[in-house]
């Protein structure tokens, strides 16, 4: 493992994968920084990146006609951002805005889509991690809804 990949291997999303699997995933990885207020992704743009958030907070926003952006969820270091690269037509469905300075690994979706002949367990390993992330987000949304309804009672 090269020193540049060591921090990537420690991200909670990839923890537990073999060094070979991480190398395959990181075929085109970049470290990116975003200042507070910057858009990491914009609704409608081509989705070709999976962000592994290292630090900072990101707001997932939906533009509501006549009302402007509405925050749906917030993410933090250790979370992943961007799943629209998984499904055609590979377009972002939301905006993602840095609420504070953000540090992230940006992984090229071309390295993540489909199985790699050299690493046949890569696809199932990633799929299980993605399903776990989706499940955790669904649970957070459920808890947020409970708080919303509790506040209105």
Residue 125 CA to residue 122 CA, distance in Å, equals: 5
Decide if 29 contacts 107 (C-beta within 8 A).
yes
Lookup: tokens for 7? 């921090």
CB proximity list for 15: less than 8 A, separation 6 or greater: 9
The mean per-residue pLDDT over the stretch 50-73 comes to 94
> For the segment 1-60, what is each residue's pLDDT rounded down to a tens digit?
444 678 899 999 998 888 888 888 888 899 999 999 999 999 999 999 999 999 999 999
**How does residue 145 score in pLDDT terms, banded at 50, 70 and 90?**
confident
> For the segment 126-140, what is each residue's pLDDT rounded down to a tens digit?
888 888 888 888 888
Burial state string for 42-68 with b = 16 or more CB within 10 A and e = fewer than 16: ebeeebbbbbbbbebbbbbbeeeeeee
């Amino acid at each position: 493992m090269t020193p540049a990949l060591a921090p990537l291997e420690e991200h909670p999303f990839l923890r537990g994968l073999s060094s070979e699997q991480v190398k395959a995933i990181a075929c085109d990885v970049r470290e990116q920084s975003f200042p507070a207020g910057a858009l990491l992704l914009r609704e409608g743009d081509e989705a070709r990146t999976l962000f592994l958030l290292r630090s900072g907070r990101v707001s997932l926003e939906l533009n509501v006609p006549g009302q402007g952006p509405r925050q749906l969820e917030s993410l933090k270091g250790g979370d992943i951002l961007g799943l629209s690269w998984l499904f055609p037509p590979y377009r972002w469905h939301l905006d993602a805005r840095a609420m504070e300075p953000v540090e992230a690994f940006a992984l090229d979706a071309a390295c993540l889509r489909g199985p790699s002949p050299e690493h046949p367990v890569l696809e199932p390993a990633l799929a299980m991690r993605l399903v776990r992330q989706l499940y955790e987000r669904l649970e957070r949304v459920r808890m947020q809804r409970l708080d919303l309804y509790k506040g209105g009672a």
